[in-house]
Structure 1
């Protein structure tokens, strides 16, 4: 492999720092252990094949090593004489580390993980069918990338002439540009979401209200996931019953699908009767149909597991927060005994009830407020540094915390190395938090011990794709003399600055971080979604702002009732059996084997299959009000409102309603004459013809 000329000067012999080398090796070992623990939390390592676990492990461990390598590179490039008072490594070792980390991340994000994700999600049984499906699914995406690469290659060839290094320059520059666009968008969301979440969670009662407001929507999605899975499993049952025709050719495949589907008869009886009609499964069974059915079954099972996990955590969190609120009177806090609690602190038994009360009521809220203020200041400093780095770099807060301008050349000592690591880690964390805040990634999600393989590949690829652009964007905060002296710049940065377009993009595009920040601060996405959907879909925060009383369908009062039913064993979702939860209200708890529980569970499932009204619609029946939660004026206003809404129509208005003329209605009009036939005929009753 040829070595680039600007890098040859760095390969001179230099002493090997023993202490720094030991620290670097220990840090890499620690990162590997932490990544394995993270994989163990979201994947079942024993049941995960090696072809999935190894790429996902590398896609998480290599970006973490990049966060470690940038501060070491800064200290190594600024050393004088015997070396700086910081962690530093020889130039050759840093160059080799950058090459290994960068090119492995590049291959993982642009080739291996996309193909592997589609390979897992294909639904085919044999590897050949999975590979063909994966290649076909990624062909369109790779074609778009190839077209963009062709246009970029023409631009670079015109600007600097065509050479072999032009292809390498194009590949690295395009990957950086795409990663920077995605990183700035996600980081803008995270810089607002992290401190805002801390501030909101400091208020215990407000946090409980938000959980209760989110409960109806999450419960609906859970019941929809259960119904979708039952519908697909009913198709498998029908295929298993078919003993003639083309189904015999795939009998072994169908039996495997039937073995993995084992729902209880009481859950499936309602849907099986509806699914036996014609049109549910095709007359001719093909391999493509079975692969599509297998793929939908896999997605439905993991989607159900996702919402079951979210619902469990929501119910347990609401129970813990309610226990914190109820402990204000006795100043003693006792959480319900359970094998799986909503947080790690709530499962500890080292504190007595009195100390636990002060911890959760006074210490933790104040800590959240302090961290919220600290992260708010950090977010402001990062945004300010992005805005002024090209105009007045000496005013950048991030720059002043790392580099001393009064020294020539500026050295990066151990303390400033730690500060650089903290800045870079917070920027990467903000981008990862923005992934959940943006909510534009479909049904992909991380589920404890049950994450779908395709989702694991996608999240790992996203982490790897964002880290290198964020690391180099962090390097642009520093003065030009410091930045250009690093190995990272000589390896990647000089290719980005090779053309005026690349250099200008790197300096001026991060200003657009104000767009996602403004959208998150002022809930722009929720408002646009509300306008486009005519008010039928709203965010949880809008629900609380527009309906603080919690009345109507989908309010926090409905969520509170759903959580109470689940805690009392009446919800029918089996939380008590899954998490070992025991309700603090044993008097009202109904045994799961009793007829009351069975009838309640059946009614709940029947209601979940019935079509639900939209969340924005007004409720026809007003729930009972809590007198202790309203003052006199609120109670009086509700009584006046209920009086007018429940008042009957006067007799003189109870005649026949106004009826449209015959020529404006579609009554007794069987034929499509006149102008109607030019627009596709008349609409069906209750429909609109476009």
Structure 2
């Protein structure tokens, strides 16, 4: 392990720090390339988001360097990577203040600018300033009492004002970071351990499939409704619409309704959304443009999540099926796969060993290791105020103790970087999992600009509070000597209120930890009927059959992979239909032979289902658009489910064969049927029998009322 031995020159440390910054820069560019197309994305998005990711990563590097530089100035041989005090001070000032400005000023303004919906840059800037002014007014209004308290206690000076702003920003960031980190410290190890079982992972994917498919269908329908509204708007040629003809034509060209699906196959929107205002204004068109962009990105998001779920389910099923043949081959990679995904050195047998034997145990080991790390972080949060000498993190970072102070070498720096990185990863994992951020999401190669700005601001907002919170795990005689404490810590501890807040508030990390550990979110959502949408893999929280169960998800995934789903048949029929033709009539495809094997039809009972029952199950899983607006109660829904269950039950064979051995009398037409070669077994020729039955007694064989 590398260790700095020169106590005179910081050049080796500076070289290593520069290499680390270069690696961080390349990693940030790869992350941006994964979520954004670099060639078509404007520079006003790429540059701020790059620094919003690069600066927090550099803070993860600066904290260990700062600790090693100022922990023991008398002995520089075991400092590890260190920098001169002046260089460290300039680095901290640039990192902290640029992160502060990006978080609270630049990124929010650019986010609203990209989401404005207007065409002209001037109108976009005015809209962004107007939206952010409302938020800043609320923030300043809530900080008036703190400002009065500071001015009374320390006098009206620039130092007290700066301390108030830094302390409030730190406190708000710490509140958000502690909650998000507490959830992630439990979710990450639990997901790793649960996903070690391929069968359990497949069951959870199948359980999420109906809900995910419904969200995708809703997103597609919402986009089509807006496209129909744009199409109706483009037909208006007179009045105020003439003033915005170019804008309306751009919206119409971007929709492309005739190419996507025939007009009469598109569901019509509700009456409220179909009405075009009499007077077309700039604000109306901006709102329509913004909603159209949101609908497009929502469709892209849910289609991407659905395709990812299908790919994971298919690969997981292949892993399960490889236990019999001891060979595993995922087939050719998709064209959209990265170069790393396409490159492999495994043979089918070694690939089986890797995915079936090594990966499950590795996930269990990594999950257990991270669970132990989570326990250490939570324990250190609880004891750092009352019993700081019992902090586990304190002993893992500081390896050389000289009395009450300690010395941090290169191993301690690596451990400190690991702790900060894991705490930040836990918080950011929750940001991507909790679905309460106004529909924002990260989509591969197609992330919305406003979402990219928002996620970048969250990364920048959480990095500084989490880093300083980690520093307080150590002894005050160590972190009070650091440049980080000089930049931020002294202003946080400027008042007794800030000092006690920094020590006592992290204890509240137990609330999200216990809520995630015992599934409190799902219980609250079921009890009150609402709640935050946090992804939970608890078996008890899964719905029953018929409301999105894993069996319904298994059938839905199988139909999608086999190309027999309703939506895929609609798209294929629309592509076959010409521009002047009416909507095509869909036909049910032929059922597979009994010997055909599919990746998801592995259950023997599944292959024994008749084709009529499988068709009924397929129809029952498709949402009925005509009943979406009905307000049915519980008993009505229960009656519908009982009826659907009874209708899909096949008639037993012994009931169908009743009467096969009984010969019908001649006056009931028995001889006629026998001469015709008909047979009553199974009821196959009942519709072809003659009119020689009891109906002939009433005339021409037809009963008249």
2:145 counterpart of 1:173: no
**Distance (whole Å) between structure 2 residues aligned to residue 46 and residue 538 of structure 1:** 34
SS in structure 2 opposite 1:441? coil
**Distance (whole Å) between structure 2 residues aligned to residue 625 and residue 200 of structure 1:** 35
Aligned-residue offset at 1:258: 1.0
Match of residue 326 from structure 1? 321
Q: 1:611 to 1:103 in 2, by over 3 A?
A: farther
What does 1:77-116 correspond to in 2, within 5 Å? 77-78=70-71, 79-116=73-110
Among candidates 10, 16, 37, match of residue 44 of structure 1: 37
**Distance (whole Å) between structure 1 residues aligned to residue 273 and residue 378 of structure 2:** 60
What does 1:75-474 correspond to in 2, within 5 Å? 75-78=68-71, 79-263=73-257, 264-266=259-261, 268-271=263-266, 280-339=275-334, 347-404=342-399, 406-408=401-403, 409-474=405-470
Q: 1:274 to 1:63 in 2, by over 3 A?
A: closer
Match of residue 571 from structure 1? 565
Match of residue 645 from structure 1? none
SS in structure 2 opposite 1:202? coil
The farther-off stretch of 158-167 and 185-194 is 158-167
Q: 1:608 to 1:447 in 2, by over 3 A?
A: farther
Residue ranges of structure 2 left out of the alignment (5+ in a row): 1-6, 573-591, 599-614, 650-705
Q: Is the contact made by 1:341 and 1:347 (CA closer than 8 Å) also made in structure 2? A: no
Match of residue 575 from structure 2? none
From the CA coordinates, give the structure whose radius of gyration is larger. Answer: 2
Aligned-residue offset at 1:566: 1.0
Q: 1:57 to 1:435 in 2, by over 3 A?
A: same
**Distance (whole Å) between structure 2 residues aligned to residue 29 and residue 483 of structure 1:** 27
Q: Is the contact made by 2:552 and 2:621 (CA closer than 8 Å) also made in structure 1? A: no
Aligned-residue offset at 1:140: 1.8
Aligned-residue offset at 1:214: 0.4
Give aligned pairs, total: 595
**Distance (whole Å) between structure 2 residues aligned to residue 26 and residue 314 of structure 1:** 38
Q: Is the contact made by 1:74 and 1:412 (CA closer than 8 Å) also made in structure 2? A: yes
TM-score, structure 1 length as denominator? Answer: 0.81
Among candidates 474, 477, 488, match of residue 492 of structure 1: 488
Q: Is the contact made by 1:159 and 1:499 (CA closer than 8 Å) also made in structure 2? A: no
Aligned-residue offset at 1:139: 1.8
TM-score, structure 2 length as denominator? Answer: 0.79
Q: 1:398 to 1:297 in 2, by over 3 A?
A: same
Q: 1:625 to 1:271 in 2, by over 3 A?
A: closer
Q: Is the contact made by 2:333 and 2:341 (CA closer than 8 Å) also made in structure 1? A: no
Aligned-residue offset at 1:162: 2.4
Q: 1:603 to 1:271 in 2, by over 3 A?
A: farther
Q: 1:538 to 1:455 in 2, by over 3 A?
A: closer
**Distance (whole Å) between structure 1 residues aligned to residue 432 and residue 424 of structure 2:** 14
Q: Is the contact made by 2:521 and 2:534 (CA closer than 8 Å) also made in structure 1? A: no
Aligned-residue offset at 1:63: 0.3
**Distance (whole Å) between structure 1 residues aligned to residue 86 and residue 647 of structure 2:** 73
Match of residue 56 from structure 1? 49
**Distance (whole Å) between structure 2 residues aligned to residue 520 and residue 324 of structure 1:** 30
Q: Is the contact made by 2:400 and 2:408 (CA closer than 8 Å) also made in structure 1? A: no
Match of residue 477 from structure 2? 481
The farther-off stretch of 143-152 and 57-66 is 143-152
What does 1:496-535 correspond to in 2, within 5 Å? 496-533=492-529
**Distance (whole Å) between structure 1 residues aligned to residue 383 and residue 621 of structure 2:** 58
Aligned-residue offset at 1:150: 2.3
**Distance (whole Å) between structure 2 residues aligned to residue 489 and residue 239 of structure 1:** 59
SS in structure 2 opposite 1:410? strand
**Distance (whole Å) between structure 2 residues aligned to residue 516 and residue 125 of structure 1:** 43
Q: Is the contact made by 1:16 and 1:90 (CA closer than 8 Å) also made in structure 2? A: no
Aligned-residue offset at 1:270: 3.1
Aligned-residue offset at 1:370: 0.1
Match of residue 637 from structure 1? none
**Distance (whole Å) between structure 2 residues aligned to residue 237 and residue 40 of structure 1:** 34
Aligned-residue offset at 1:158: 2.1
**Distance (whole Å) between structure 2 residues aligned to residue 346 and residue 278 of structure 1:** 44
Residue ranges of structure 1 left out of the alignment (5+ in a row): 1-13, 579-583, 590-598, 627-690
The farther-off stretch of 69-78 and 268-277 is 268-277
The farther-off stretch of 426-435 and 348-357 is 348-357
Among candidates 19, 24, 32, match of residue 26 of structure 1: 19
Q: 1:530 to 1:274 in 2, by over 3 A?
A: closer
Q: Is the contact made by 1:402 and 1:420 (CA closer than 8 Å) also made in structure 2? A: yes
Aligned-residue offset at 1:160: 2.3
**Distance (whole Å) between structure 1 residues aligned to residue 647 and residue 308 of structure 2:** 28
**Distance (whole Å) between structure 2 residues aligned to residue 615 and residue 321 of structure 1:** 39
Aligned-residue offset at 1:624: 12
What does 1:546-557 correspond to in 2, within 5 Å? 551-557=545-551
Aligned-residue offset at 1:437: 3.6
Q: 1:501 to 1:536 in 2, by over 3 A?
A: closer
Q: 1:623 to 1:333 in 2, by over 3 A?
A: farther
Q: Is the contact made by 2:433 and 2:534 (CA closer than 8 Å) also made in structure 1? A: no
The superposition leaves residues 502-538 of structure 1 with CA deviations (integer Å, 9 ceiling, x where unpaired) of 0000000000000010111111111111111289999
**Distance (whole Å) between structure 1 residues aligned to residue 60 and residue 337 of structure 2:** 30
Match of residue 654 from structure 2? none
Aligned-residue offset at 1:607: 4.6
Q: Is the contact made by 1:120 and 1:453 (CA closer than 8 Å) also made in structure 2? A: yes
Q: 1:372 to 1:534 in 2, by over 3 A?
A: closer
SS in structure 2 opposite 1:511? helix
The superposition leaves residues 375-418 of structure 1 with CA deviations (integer Å, 9 ceiling, x where unpaired) of 00000000000001111111110001112474144110001110
Match of residue 673 from structure 1? none
Aligned-residue offset at 1:609: 3.9
